[in-house]
Amino acid sequence: MESRRDRIIFLVDMQSFYASVEKARHPELRDKPLIVAGDPARRSGIVLAACPLAKRCGVTTAERLGEAVRKCPDVVVIRPRMQEYIRVSLQISAILERFSDLVEPYSIDEQFIDVTGSYLLFGKDPQEVARKIQASISRETGVYARVGIGPNKVLAKMACDNFAKKNADGIFTLTHENKREHLWPLAIDKMFGVGSRMNRHLRRLGIHTIGDLAAFPLHKLQRIWGVNGHVLWMTANGYDYSPVTPTTHDTQKGIGHQMTLPRDYRTAEEIRVVLMELSEEVCRRARSKGLMGETVSVGCRGADFDRPTGFHRQTKLSSPTNHMPHIFAAAQALFERHWDGEPVRSVGVSLTQLRPDDEYQLDLFLDRERERKLDHAVDAIKERYGSAAIVRAVSLTSAGQAYDRAQKIGGHYK
């Protein structure tokens, strides 16, 4: 199925990215186990990154900080600095762009790069180019990169995740010619796109390896999962026609904001405060991009880890908007309709069905232009003096999180 004129795609992954950035900044910690974790006093006290020395002690990403310290008592714990990690990630993007103009960020620590038309400018083969990329990133940022190489994005990703990360040189090439030898014997949960739930479903069908899935009748997968079944089959067979697209994140389909709460919120009054703050932030971000939306979604997760509860629901507005009172009213109504009354540990609000906000329907009963001017005046104040320069009175209550969130990026301290 795949064209013989295959591309040469790299998936460049930064080893223990946050921890590596911290070790580059603190050379004295080079030989010490180190983890980056949230504030232990709050519920964000989980491991975000662990260096290889800490991982040898059994520390894993996403486990609780207390458990990590018990496994590795002499570990150095550093609170995250998200602004710095974003800066280094952008610096790595700039390094990759010296080797090709086709660079697509996949996450803060992973990036695709298509070197099909440029690799001969930098080496005799893709492996030599990969080594030069590794050397450039290490020299300029202090971060060690692993490189998966493949004829498409999905094979490059699985080459990196399953092989390059375990190789001494941090480089591995996965092709259609060697996938039968290397990829297909792997357990099915090692395949890109298979999580714990899908792993259980596939094993119930007798599919235990990636090779089993590759050989499974496509029409049966389609009958069970539709298009997703076809995607699973294509991934197992190493087929992927999606290009490396530098502008892949330029078109936004939705704007959302989710918050893990510092304690269990038990009353509707407390949760309304958070819903208002989330609605405020979603609308501010929408206005900053010149967008408004027509569908409001609300989700929450319960506080009981052993018996997870929660919901995710959405509603369509009568007309698109990015004005907070309208979004908040819809979010509050959704929440009150579907909340089971149990304590809540995280809440989220999102706005979808986006469109440009330079054209809108006039309303006999609303002064839309006055709303717009007021919103943009508040946005200008926050842009100049910070997001907590002006807040609503409810944010001064014990339930408010606006001041704390102003110190963070993506839920972590800057």
In a domain, 248, yes or no: no
Q: What is the CATH number of the domain that holds 214?
A: 1.10.150.20
Residues 167, 269: one domain? no
Residues 275, 399: one domain? yes
Residue 42: what pLDDT? 52
349 beta partners: 257, 298
pLDDT tens digits along 234-264? 999 999 999 999 987 666 688 988 888 888 8
Residues 153, 11: one domain? yes
Supply the range of the domain harboring residue 135: 1-174
Residue 151: what pLDDT? 97
CA-based nearest residue to 145, from 13, 56, 308, 267: 13
Residue 367: what pLDDT? 76
With bands split at pLDDT 50, 70 and 90, how would you rate the model's confidence at 113?
Answer: very high
Above 70 in pLDDT, residue 344? Answer: yes
| Active-site residue, from 63, 67, 84, 110 | 110
In a domain, 5, yes or no: yes
Q: What is the CATH number of the domain that holds 147?
A: 3.30.70.270
Point out the least confidently predicted range of 118-127, 136-145, 336-345.
336-345
Calpha distance 100→117 (Å, rounded): 8
In a domain, 244, yes or no: no
With bands split at pLDDT 50, 70 and 90, how would you rate the model's confidence at 4?
Answer: very low
In a domain, 210, yes or no: yes
In a domain, 99, yes or no: yes
Residues 308, 226: one domain? no
pLDDT tens digits along 49-62? 999 999 999 999 88
Above 80 in pLDDT, residue 412? Answer: no
Percent of the chain with pLDDT over 90: 66
pTM over 0.85: no
Residue 316: what pLDDT? 94
* 381 to 62, 90, 390: CA distances (angstroms): 36, 27, 7
Is residue 369 annotated as a catalytic residue, yes or no?
no
Above 50 in pLDDT, residue 43? Answer: no
Q: φ, ψ for residue 150 (rounded to 5)?
A: -160, 170
Q: φ, ψ for residue 103 (rounded to 5)?
A: -125, 125
pLDDT tens digits along 128-151? 999 999 999 999 999 999 999 999
Q: Is 265 helix (H, G, I), strand (E, B) or coil?
A: strand
Of 134, 154, 174, the domain-final residue: 174
The response to whether 74 counts as a known ligand-binding position is no
Residue 235: what pLDDT? 97
In a domain, 42, yes or no: yes
Residues 31, 161: one domain? yes
Calpha distance 56→60 (Å, rounded): 9
Q: What is the mean pLDDT of the chain?
A: 89
Of 142, 174, 206, the domain-final residue: 174
Calpha distance 158→155 (Å, rounded): 5
Residue 250: what pLDDT? 62
CB-CB contact of 297 with 253 (8 Å): no
Q: CB atoms < 10 A from the CB of 238, how many?
A: 23
With bands split at pLDDT 50, 70 and 90, how would you rate the model's confidence at 349?
Answer: very high
With bands split at pLDDT 50, 70 and 90, how would you rate the model's confidence at 408?
Answer: low
CA-based nearest residue to 352, from 312, 391, 387: 312
pLDDT top residue among 413 and 45? 45
The response to whether 109 counts as a known ligand-binding position is yes
Percent of the chain with pLDDT over 70: 93
Residues 135, 188: one domain? no
pLDDT top residue among 306 and 147? 147
In a domain, 348, yes or no: yes
Residue 357: what pLDDT? 85
Residues 17, 157: one domain? yes
Structural domains of the chain, count: 3
Residues 133, 197: one domain? no
> What tokens appear for 129 in the block?
């180019």
CA 411 to chain centre: 12
> What tokens appear for 198 in the block?
């899908």
Q: What is the CATH number of the domain that holds 264?
A: 3.30.1490.100
Q: What is the mean pLDDT of residues 70-80?
A: 91
In a domain, 247, yes or no: no
CB-CB contact of 236 with 214 (8 Å): yes
Residues 226, 350: one domain? no
pLDDT top residue among 192 and 2? 192
